[in-house]
Structure 1
Amino acid sequence: MVIAILATYACSNDEARSPVINSNDFTQKITLGNAHLDKSPLVTQHLFPLADLVENVQQSVVSISVDIVSRGRFFDFTDEGSGTGIIISNDGYIVTNYHVIQNTSDIEVSISDGRNYSAEIVGLDVLTDLAVIKIEADNLSTIKFGESRALRPGDWVFTIGNALGLRGGPSVTFGIISGVGRTVQTERGDLYDMIQTDAAINQGNSGGPLVNDEGEVIGINTAVYSGAQGIGFSVSSSVAQPVINSLIKEGKVTRPLIGLRGMNTTSTISKRYDLGVAEGIFVTQISPNGPADNGKLKVGDVITAINGTPTPTMSKFLPLLWGYDVGDVVTVTYISEKSPLVTEIILDVRP
């Protein structure tokens, strides 16, 4: 399923809005017959003190307003957009989405007590749709990041964000984890290890937190389907945290390069090429004289593990690879012409 890019910041100009996902795949309606939801223990029981958690978390959630410059043939036009951010340090570092502040000439941040600040861009990362900005302030309230790897479908979560740029404070929505480890295809590239939730993520919520029942951020809201209700996506905290740290320290993210292109091994691909393996990364291209080439990998091989960690899909392979440093030596387990092999590869720097 291909997803055109999605962005959930609000903007007064329809053409200036980053397009949301369009899908015709979700057409079936589900009707609950005689469900008696009012008597359901899942509805009547207070599963966690939501209002108390919201009160604590919203102190670390900010509204972001931006001036968006659109290039015309003869003139440049400035429009207004809005998004959400999360305070991650008491001295003013804030994480949000890349698409919230791209092409902007001015960023204004409003914190929970009503004070407004101008913000400067610290660093951007297109591959994860994340950005860090900074305001000159101190003694700010921050929020703890939780472990997204422990999430399971059905876990309760809530979101807070500057939905539609509405005045009067942030909007709160509530739902569950619908899926984990999703790959979301966008016009800027694939987003990996995404969290799927049915908690409403509306325009303006981009960059806001997806919060667990402990009041911890386990995702950063990024995407929605326009063609279906209850399908939104967040960048997982396990992906976001190292990116945020790199942006603060270096203003960019330096990722290792393995020097190959690949795709998920499907049953169709496995049968067509007689691979003898059901899953893994099917190598489709090798960069000449690159790390994979030097490690003797070739087109048609199937990578099954890195340093003993299985790589059944690209959504597992790339985040795992990005966890290593340039210059690291990794042991790659792979299948070549139905034979299991092992090679060592020295990771290079991604340009």
Structure 2
Amino acid sequence: MEGIEALNQNMVDIAEKASRAVVSINSTLKMHSYGYGIAPVKGSGSGFIITPDGYVLTNNHVVEGSEEVEVILSDGSRYTGTVAGRDPQTDVAIVKIQGSGFPVLELGDSEAIKTGSLVLAIGNALGLPGGHTVSMGVISAKNRPMPWADFIFEGLLQTDAAINPGNSGGPLVDMSGRAVGINTAIIAQANGIGFSIPVNTVKKELHDMISTGRVNRQYIGISGMEVNSSIARRYGTEADHGVMVARIDPDSPAYSSGLRPGDVIIEFGGKPVNSMRDLIKHVSEMSGSSDAVFMRGRTRYKTTITMKNKKGKKVFITD
């Protein structure tokens, strides 16, 4: 019984402390309406403060296209926020409010957290008055994709902690009181399946978004599909894994390196490629030039790709 009471008190303490840094975000997008001219469309979401000088982490879809962003702190104080950086590909955005000494929620380690770990989802669920909503759950799975979304929605944390409209952009908090994810989506027809963007993904983007307003990514310029036995038979390749080049930009680093449609990339940067996710991850981690090993028909080749850094351009598009 004492153990349960101690766990309960620990969770109460974590929720209280973390909630101080969680904010509500009200956005207004001015859209043209036939017969009415320009009509404001309002939305709401959540976010959390990550620096004492007022940088707020949230989802891009919470603030995208907004001309006005209002940030409401847990004490009820209101600030006009400016969108300091956005990355539509990972659905992450940074909002800046003016001031200092703000309460901060520390970023944790989403790689280290294990399936089954207790977590709290905190946010402005349904825009209900009276303070933030806190829900408890576990990490149900890691490295989840969203098949219906863009390629970058890979490697998500899945949780059964209740996530509702308005929670978007709020934190998923571990039992050390640190944010391990940004709550971003649910499956409407399912029960207890929500998704959070791992904070380790976000950590790599923060400097770019704060300093330049966007994320600078390595670019090699291909579209591809994962190889399985049926694909291998159909296209006559001996590769039993990897990513087959489906389309290629003729002005891209991949084309300059000699890659062509039909080639199957099986290694990149000395690391095996078994899926699109592998290739996306390897490219994002590399800089400058990297070797790619690929199969063309029954022959194995090796080439060097000198990557470009294209702001805001997708590295791959999955078919």
**Matching residue of 1:64:** 25
On the 8 A contact 1:64/1:82 being kept in 2, the answer is yes
Q: Which residue of 2 aligns with 1:332?
A: 292
Structure 1 spans left out of the alignment, 5+ residues: 1-38
Query: Is 1:91 equivalent to 2:56 in the alignment?
Result: no
Partner secondary structure for residue 84 of structure 2: strand
Partner in structure 1 of residue 82 of structure 2? 120
Amino acid at match of 2:45: G
**Residue 206 of structure 2 is aligned to residue 239 of structure 1:** no
1:24 corresponding residue in structure 2: none
Q: Is the 8 A contact 2:241 2:274 kept in 1?
A: yes
CA distance in 1, matches of 2:127, 2:168: 11
Q: 2:100 aligns with which of 125, 129, 138?
A: 138
1:196 to 155, 158, 168: 158
Question: Where does residue 217 of structure 2 map in the other structure?
Answer: 255
Letter in 1 for 2:26: S
Please list every run of 5 or more consecutive structure 2 residues that lacks an aligned counterpart in the other structure. Answer: 314-319
- Is the Cα–Cα contact under 8 Å of residues 254 and 349 in structure 1 kept in the other structure? yes
CA RMSD of aligned residues (A): 2.3
C-alpha separation between the residues in 1 aligned to 2:220 and 2:9?
A: 44
1:48-82 CA distance string (max 9 Å, x none): 82111111111111111112323212412113221
Number of aligned pairs? 309
Q: Is the 8 A contact 1:69 1:78 kept in 2?
A: yes
- The one-letter code sitting in structure 2 at the alignment partner of 1:294 is S
| Cα deviation, residue 197, structure 1 | 1.4
Tell me if structure 2 keeps the 8 A contact 1:132–1:248: yes
**Residue aligning to 1:169:** 131
- 1:73 counterpart = 2:34: yes
- Residues of 1 paired with 2:233 and 2:130: CA distance? 58
Residues 21-54 of structure 1: CA deviation (Å, up to 9, x unaligned): xxxxxxxxxxxxxxxxxx9xx9999488211111
For the residue of structure 2 that corresponds to 1:56, the secondary structure is helix
After the TM superposition, which residues 16-55 of structure 1 pair with which residues of structure 2 at under 5 Å, given as runs? 46=7, 49-55=10-16
Q: 1:201–1:221: 8 Å Cα contact kept in structure 2?
A: yes
SS where residue 246 of structure 1 aligns? helix
The C-alpha deviation readout for 1:283-317, integer Å capped at 9, x for no partner, is: 11122242111212222222223222233222232
Question: Does structure 2 retain, via aligned residues, the 8 Å contact 1:221–1:235?
Answer: yes
Query: Could you give the per-residue CA deviations for residues 155-211 of structure 1, whole angstroms, max 9, x where no partner exists?
Result: 222210100011111111111222222222456665222221111110000001111
Measured in 1, the distance between the counterparts of 2:204 and 2:100 equals: 23
**Aligned partner of residue 19 in structure 2, secondary structure:** helix
2:266 corresponds to which residue? 304
Instruction: Provide the C-alpha distance between the structure 2 equivalents of 1:213 and 1:240, rounded to a whole number of angstroms.
Output: 20
Question: Partner residue of 1:151?
Answer: 113
Percent of residue pairs identical: 34
TM-score, normalising length: structure 1: 0.81
- Relative to the length of structure 2, the TM-score reads 0.89
**Residues 334 and 178 of structure 1: is their aligned pair in 2 closer, same or farther, counting only changes over 3 Å?**
farther
Q: State the partner residue of 1:278.
A: 240
**Which of 183, 186, 194 is equivalent to 1:221?**
183
